[in-house]
Structure 1
Amino acid sequence: MVSAVFHSPLEAAAAHVAAPVLSRSVAAVPAAAAVPVQQAPEPTPRAPRDFSWIWLRVLPPILGFGLLILVWELVALKNSNGFPSPGAVWQQALTVFSDPFYSKGPNDQGVGWNVLSSLKRVAMGFGLAAAVGIPAGFAIGRFGFLARMFNPLISLLRPVSPLAWLPIGLLVFKGANPAAIWTIFICSIWPMIINTAVGVQRVPSDYMNVARVLDLSEWKILTRILFPAVLPYMLTGVRLAVGTAWLVIVAAEMLTGGVGIGFWVWDEWNNLNVANIIIAIFVIGIVGLVLEFALIRIATAFTFEEVKS
């Protein structure tokens, strides 16, 4: 017995429409499931702070100054001749620097005026030495005849003590101030001549060969080749010379008198004011350190890596 199932036309049409929709929804499920879910990034662990610079840069100078003050305090305790302690010098320094630019006459002025007077003499003597020494160094380094001519004189005069030149200045210039400037000049000129000449002699020979091939004039060789190559050596000579000049002026002013940090030291010694002498020592050291640091920064800015090494 055969049974027949009859469907209405409406049910057939509904089934025909539902089939594609069902197939598309089924096919869409894997596509939706394939989209990856983004996770929040894990926080980066913070690097530990590096405090090694304290041990390498800050602590050693503090320990050095602490050792100096400790030795100073021990010397003051053991000395019965009135050698001032660090605390007494500190109190005197507050008094001295409370009015550093007072003026009560030519021989009684504040420490500020004395430092400025010494710096003025150093600037004049050092400027004259640079104006003469640097061109002389270029000439001596450039020409072998001049090098053989002046090297014995430089070797003879350079080791002479700065104070040995002071009587010559007093005799020739008939005045304490020009004699001090002369002493600074003659003692500052040697480092600039020697370092500049050495820099010229160390210019690579290839540079000079190229200059000969291009038939450059002596002026172009000086400005385009020698000066840029010699500049680091020249600045090193300037740095050494300014340290010598500041060292010489203190000794020269002790003997010539007038206004200046060297004269101030000698005058305080005559007044038996040891605290002011120690203050002057620190002032001289700080000013010299500032000059040295400034010239080191300038020299470093113009120094090539091979010269630094």
Structure 2
Amino acid sequence: MSAVIDTRSHAALPSPHPATTSTDHAPDVSAESKRRRAVGADVVRSPLRKSPLRPYVMALLPPLVGMALLILLWQIISTRTSGFPSPLTTLQEAIRLFSDPFYRKGPNDQGIGWNILASLQRVAVGFGLAALVGIPLGFAIGRFKFMAGMFGPIISLLKPVSPLAWLPIGLLVFKAADPAAIWSIFICSIWPMVINTAVGVQRVPQDYMNVARVLNLSEWKILTKILFPSVLPYMLTGVRLAIGTAWLVIVAAEMLTGGVGIGFWVWDEWNNLNVPHIIIAIVVIGLVGLILEQALVALARAFTYDDAGT
């Protein structure tokens, strides 16, 4: 009986070297493999993520891909349409054309450079006149309710009219093509500047105007010290919209009036069935319009409140 008890008591004692199971000290294979894969991925991604050229690549790659798709589509159309020039043919013609852009062989045979300058001159005159009239008128409409009530219906009636619809009126009144084209640019450029300037004046905080009344400021002080700084972003937005519209209108107006100008040059090349020159003119018109708009965008950014604070 005692032997049995002794055997059971010894069996119940804990072993000085307890047996270890396979799960106690076995490495966590899944966690270790995940860690190694994460470290490997970081090693692979880190050169791209830390490369100083990555922002430039990401900025240039999408436009290049878009231009490549456009050229590919152009090539496909040229191969399937008789008389439509290929990109290479157009490029060769552009190199020849811009090798001497300021030649003169008569009043109706001038280089593309002279035509662009003539169009820009008309745009500058018409746009400048629109700014001289439209911006002060916008301040008056936004500042005084009587002016807003007087000019509001007129603007609502005339703003939707196509700018080219005003060209016959200009030809009838001015009896010449150049003033008529400038008149069309003027009438189409004035509305964005009037409307945006008036909206900017109306959105000036009322607290500013209350302070002006308390300080008994003159109307000139209110205009120069309160209204103009607050309205400037709206006014520049109207100017940017107006210059884009003016550049669109001058091409169509010159097609109808003739003379020297990029619009007339496009129409003349169509009469000569010179399709490569038409495509070159389209690209030039787009580039000039883009340059004008970006110049005004840079001007607007220079006068924002954030930049002024810095």
Fold equivalence (TM over 0.5): yes
| Structure 1 residue 152, shift from structure 2 partner | 1.2
| Structure 1 residue 55, shift from structure 2 partner | 4.5
- Which whole-Å CA distance do the structure 2 matches of 1:145 and 1:86 have between them? 58
2:244 aligns with 243
| Structure 1 residue 162, shift from structure 2 partner | 1.1
**Matched position secondary structure for 2:217:** coil
* Residues 118-148 of structure 1 deviation map (CA, whole Å, 9 limit, x = unaligned): 0000000000000000000000000011111
* Residues 217-262 of structure 1 deviation map (CA, whole Å, 9 limit, x = unaligned): 1011001110111111111100100000000000000000000000
2:269 aligns with 268
1:182 aligns with 183
State TM-score, norm by structure 2.
0.82
2:120 aligns with 119
For 1:191-202, what aligned pairs fall within 5 Å after superposition? 191-202=192-203
Letter in 2 for 1:293: Q
List runs of 5+ in structure 2 lacking aligned partners. Answer: 1-46
* Residues 188-214 of structure 1 deviation map (CA, whole Å, 9 limit, x = unaligned): 000000000000000011100000000
**Matched position secondary structure for 1:220:** helix
Deviation above 6 Å: which 4+ runs of structure 1? Answer: none
2:78 aligns with 76
For 1:99-138, what aligned pairs fall within 5 Å after superposition? 99-138=100-139
1:220 aligns with 2:209: no
2:164 aligns with 163
1:62 aligns with 2:37: no
RMSD: 1.4
1:93 aligns with 94
| Structure 1 residue 166, shift from structure 2 partner | 0.3
- Which whole-Å CA distance do the structure 2 matches of 1:238 and 1:301 have between them? 14
| Structure 1 residue 53, shift from structure 2 partner | 1.4
**Matched position secondary structure for 1:101:** coil
| Structure 1 residue 51, shift from structure 2 partner | 3.7
1:149 aligns with 150
**Matched position secondary structure for 2:270:** helix
**Matched position secondary structure for 2:273:** coil
After TM superposition, the structure 1 stretch with the greater mean CA deviation from structure 2, 198-207 or 296-305, is 296-305
Letter in 2 for 1:244: T
- Which whole-Å CA distance do the structure 1 matches of 2:61 and 2:219 have between them? 53
After TM superposition, the structure 1 stretch with the greater mean CA deviation from structure 2, 263-272 or 152-161, is 152-161
| Structure 1 residue 151, shift from structure 2 partner | 1.0
- Which whole-Å CA distance do the structure 1 matches of 2:199 and 2:58 have between them? 35
After TM superposition, the structure 1 stretch with the greater mean CA deviation from structure 2, 152-161 or 185-194, is 152-161
1:205 aligns with 206
Letter in 2 for 1:265: V
1:173 aligns with 2:174: yes
| Structure 1 residue 52, shift from structure 2 partner | 3.0
Equivalent residue pairs, number = 260
- Which whole-Å CA distance do the structure 2 matches of 1:154 and 1:270 have between them? 38
Letter in 2 for 1:175: A
**Matched position secondary structure for 2:102:** coil
2:301 aligns with 300
| Structure 1 residue 304, shift from structure 2 partner | 2.4
* Residues 6-48 of structure 1 deviation map (CA, whole Å, 9 limit, x = unaligned): xxxxxxxxxxxxxxxxxxxxxxxxxxxxxxxxxxxxxxxx993
| Structure 1 residue 305, shift from structure 2 partner | 4.7
For 1:10-89, what aligned pairs fall within 5 Å after superposition? 48-80=50-82, 82-89=83-90
- Which whole-Å CA distance do the structure 1 matches of 2:216 and 2:282 have between them? 56
Letter in 1 for 2:68: G
- Which whole-Å CA distance do the structure 1 matches of 2:122 and 2:53 have between them? 45
- Which whole-Å CA distance do the structure 1 matches of 2:296 and 2:148 have between them? 28
| Structure 1 residue 149, shift from structure 2 partner | 1.4
- Which whole-Å CA distance do the structure 2 matches of 1:200 and 1:295 have between them? 21
